[in-house]
Amino acid sequence: MKRLVLAVLPIAALVLLMTAVSGTTAELQRKLAAESTIEQIVKRGVIRVGMDVFVPYAMKDKKGELIGFEIDVARKLAEDMGIRVEFVPTKWSGIIPSLIAGRFDVIIGGMTLTTERNMKINFTNPYYYTSQGLLANRKMSEGFAIDDFNRPEITLAARLGSTAAVTAKNRFPLATLRLFDDEPAAVQEVRNGRVHAMVAGQPLPAHSAELAPETLVAYPDQLMKEPICFGLRKGDVDTLNFFNNWIEVTKNRGWFEERYNYWFGSLQWQTLVQ
């Protein structure tokens, strides 16, 4: 009988230990869920979205209100969640540090997934793809093929902190690269002939050339195809899961395609800003 009791004691102790561990794990899971960004957003009733002015992703209309593809995406997300959206305009070069610091909940602003960025923050599944293009001063690039921009005497422009800047360095390593805080300033430099061309995400090169064909020309070459995703802080599986599922459902309903065609495939929206 003593032997039986001695044999049962370790088993009982193991059961108690497993029960305690299970309880601790469950409590930890509940705590992590309660602290997730998505839960905080729901409790607050507001999703704070980091973005920067980036035509036609996000810009101001004649009334000073934000409009654009990414503005539509953020508003649609908030509408489906039954909450409000608060936009937090942030310079692109500092948008990832601002996300990490907690100034807003998520980046929805035409951000491309890159290895360097992914080492700092998490990314959702892509909800659409874009590509890099070249916008050139028509007079200064007369007779140029795309490879002619890869020369020491050529000056190119790109947005600071953008994948366009990376593309410009990789595709045209011999050219001089000037970086600007925003794309309108870079476009103006191309128009004024202070730089030969600029690298930027489509549809900016195509739209800019269409609006000023006498001074600008867009090259048809696709310099790089890029996945566009939401950016969020690391270590938050629940929020990542929610955003990925929302993207998948919304994509399957054709909503992204419809909005993409409006903002990227046409210039109907130009009347709202001019």
Output the pLDDT for position 224. 87
* Fold matches, 39-127+229-273 and 130-226: yes
Output the pLDDT for position 4. 47
CATH of domain 130-226: 3.40.190.10
Helices (H) and strands (E) in the chain, counts: 11, 12
Output the pLDDT for position 20. 56
* Kind and range of the H or E run holding 183: helix 183-192
Can you identify the CATH homologous superfamily of domain 39-127+229-273? Periplasmic binding protein-like II (3.40.190.10)
Output the pLDDT for position 19. 56
Render the burial of 77-87: b for 16+ CB within 10 Å, e for the rest.
bbeebebebeb
Q: Are 92 and 52 in contact (CB under 8 A)?
A: yes
Residue keyed to tokens 């980091």: 50
Output the pLDDT for position 55. 86
Output the pLDDT for position 215. 97
Domain parsing of the chain, residue ranges: 39-127+229-273, 130-226
Output the pLDDT for position 123. 98
In angstroms, the Cα distances linking 85 to 15, 135, 199 are: 48, 34, 31
Output the pLDDT for position 15. 56
155-158 contact pairs (CB < 8 A, 24+): 155/194, 155/195, 155/196, 156/195, 156/196, 156/197, 156/198, 156/199, 157/186, 157/189, 157/190, 157/195, 157/197, 157/198, 157/199, 158/186, 158/198, 158/199, 158/200
Across the chain, which has 274 residues, the per-10-residue mean pLDDT values are 52 58 48 76 98 92 95 98 97 95 97 95 96 96 96 96 93 97 94 97 92 95 92 97 98 96 90 86
In angstroms, the Cα distances linking 241 to 29, 112, 125 are: 15, 19, 10
Enter the tokens of residue 22: 């299970």
Output the pLDDT for position 22. 52
Output the pLDDT for position 84. 98
Output the pLDDT for position 229. 97
Residues contacting residue 88 through CB under 8 Å, at least 6 positions apart:
48, 49, 50, 51, 98, 103, 104
